[in-house]
Chains A and B, each alone.
Chain A
């Protein structure tokens, strides 16, 4: 491990310990790391979006080596890419939010992004999350028969699984139907739907806990292997 990497590891270890110190109580070390994290994250996204969104979609088409403006100056030709100026202007309107007297100008940029986002969401959600999920459910067969060397067999496992899946989706959807009071058959089905949803929430919770635990293990491994062990090696003690 070279000197710069070891220096970085020490900084990373210090910040890791600063954040873990919150387990004791809120303290200046935690606050230092918390504010630094927010600042660094904001800076990260500004730089990341500059290079990945603004450069390829605004700066390069207009001012790049073969951009629309150099072409206009060099060859006197109007280029369709000049329309990209509109995107820049819409973006700049967003900054008017900071000036109360002309804050209304920011509505143009916001309206464009909200309207286009709504259009995108309309198609994406309707197709991927609604139609495909319904399609995935209705094409399940509650009776599954499989072929093997000895002939045709009724597949109990797959049949029960498919039947439960269909019952689960329908009953959970019934639970989300609030236009009629949940009584009688509707109430019973909604009750079954809640049970399916509860198992689903429990599973999601279990997965989340395990994901966080694995992150914690990762941080502990970093402190022991990358920080303490590498420092001891650098000092010639290991």
Chain B
């Protein structure tokens, strides 16, 4: 029964949400369940944070490699949590200050760092050896050129309208609106069918991996 009852819980919760789409009278029940879902999600994030804390605490206690940095992590976690819960998260709060001067700069620099690695990976991987690779390379170059001012600067003012299809701007728009839309649309349709079938497997109890081991 330790597995069967949770499976029934999952089935009932999911089926009510699906039925609500077809039976509007279930809207109140479904709305309430969705509020409960948000509460459970908040606790799930808490579980993740506790786990992070536990792992780093063990690392400090065992004096394992890089343990001093784990203290930095723990201090950062507690500081942000205490300040946020204790004094609020609105504008002008200490939490807001920590976000603006600690979290935001680090987050955007982390992602900015990827520019270098993406460029280096592209240099190594982008070889026009096959038709497929050439298409990928050409599309990427045109989109990048179309995104920056230099892409349109080289087009002189006297450039005839009849040759507009040779400019990066024009080509980028066509790639994005036609080829990219077609590819993304097919991916979205395929992925959504995958999500729907996985959801059905979960609700019908065929997929049980979320329950863990016995």
CB within 8 Å of A: which B55-103 residues: 66, 69-70, 72-81, 83-85, 88-89, 95, 97-103
Residue of B nearest to A31 (CB): B69
- Give the Cβ gap from B204 to chain A, nearest Cβ, in Å: 10
Given A19-B110, A87-B35, A212-B114, are A94 and B43 also a contact pair (CB < 8 Å)? yes
- Bound complex: CA A137 to CA B189 (Å): 11
- Bound complex: CA A83 to CA B31 (Å): 13
- Bound complex: CA A90 to CA B17 (Å): 18
Given A20-B109, A165-B178, are A108 and B203 also a contact pair (CB < 8 Å)? no
Q: Report B-chain residues with C-beta under 8 Å of the C-beta of A91.
A: 39-40, 42-43
Q: In the bound complex, do residue B72 and residue A36 qualify as a contact, i.e. CB atoms below 8 Å apart?
A: yes
Q: Report A-chain residues with C-beta under 8 Å of the C-beta of B189.
A: 129-130, 133-134, 169, 173
Q: In the bound complex, do residue A126 and residue B143 qualify as a contact, i.e. CB atoms below 8 Å apart?
A: no
Q: Report B-chain residues with C-beta under 8 Å of the C-beta of A94.
A: 40, 43-44, 46-47
Q: Report B-chain residues with C-beta under 8 Å of the C-beta of A48.
A: 84, 89
Q: Which of A41, A46, A116, A205 contacts B14 (CB 8 A)?
A: A116
Residue of B nearest to A22 (CB): B113
Q: Report B-chain residues with C-beta under 8 Å of the C-beta of A145.
A: none
Q: In the bound complex, do residue A169 and residue B40 qualify as a contact, i.e. CB atoms below 8 Å apart?
A: no
Q: Which of A34, A92, A121, A215 contacts B115 (CB 8 A)?
A: A215
Q: In the bound complex, do residue B108 and residue A218 qualify as a contact, i.e. CB atoms below 8 Å apart?
A: yes
Q: Which of B21, B36, B114, B131 contacts A112 (CB 8 A)?
A: B36
CB within 8 Å of B: which A77-104 residues: 83-84, 86-88, 90-92, 94-95, 97-98, 103-104
CB within 8 Å of B: which A48-106 residues: 48-51, 53-54, 57-58, 83-84, 86-88, 90-92, 94-95, 97-98, 103-104
Interface residue A176 (Cβ < 8 Å from any Cβ of B): yes
CB within 8 Å of A: which B161-205 residues: 174-193, 195-196, 198-200, 202-203
Is the contact region of chain A dominated by helix, strand, or loop, or is it mixed? helix
Interface residues on B, range: 35 or more
Interface residue B25 (Cβ < 8 Å from any Cβ of A): no
Residue of B nearest to A120 (CB): B17
- Give the Cβ gap from A35 to chain B, nearest Cβ, in Å: 4
- Bound complex: CA A208 to CA B126 (Å): 15
- Bound complex: CA A89 to CA B23 (Å): 28
Question: Please, what's the 1-or-0 string for A16-38, where 1 marks a CB less than 8 Å from any CB in chain B?
Answer: 10011011000000011111111
CB within 8 Å of B: which A99-145 residues: 103-104, 107-123, 125-126, 128-130, 133-134, 136-137
- Bound complex: CA A136 to CA B177 (Å): 13
Q: In the bound complex, do residue B182 and residue A169 qualify as a contact, i.e. CB atoms below 8 Å apart?
A: yes
Q: Which of B83, B106, B174 contacts A15 (CB 8 A)?
A: B106
Interface residue B10 (Cβ < 8 Å from any Cβ of A): yes
- Bound complex: CA A90 to CA B144 (Å): 48
Q: In the bound complex, do residue A108 and residue B44 qualify as a contact, i.e. CB atoms below 8 Å apart?
A: no
Q: In the bound complex, do residue B196 and residue A122 qualify as a contact, i.e. CB atoms below 8 Å apart?
A: yes
Interface residues on A, range: 35 or more
Question: Please, what's the 1-or-0 string for A170-182, where 1 marks a CB less than 8 Å from any CB in chain B?
Answer: 0011011000000
Max chain B CB contacts within 10 Å: which of A45, A111, A129, A165?
A111
A residues in contact (CB < 8 Å) with B: 4, 8-9, 11-13, 15-16, 19-20, 22-23, 31-51, 53-54, 57-58, 83-84, 86-88, 90-92, 94-95, 97-98, 103-104, 107-123, 125-126, 128-130, 133-134, 136-137, 161, 164-165, 167-169, 172-173, 175-176, 193-210, 212-213, 215-216, 218-219, 222
Known A-B contacts: A39-B75, A119-B203, A172-B186. Give 18 more (CB < 8 A): A39-B73, A39-B74, A40-B103, A44-B99, A47-B89, A51-B85, A53-B39, A108-B5, A111-B210, A113-B41, A113-B44, A168-B186, A176-B186, A198-B132, A200-B183, A212-B112, A215-B112, A219-B105
Nearest 4 pairs between A and B by C-beta?
Answer: A47-B84, A200-B183, A168-B182, A43-B80
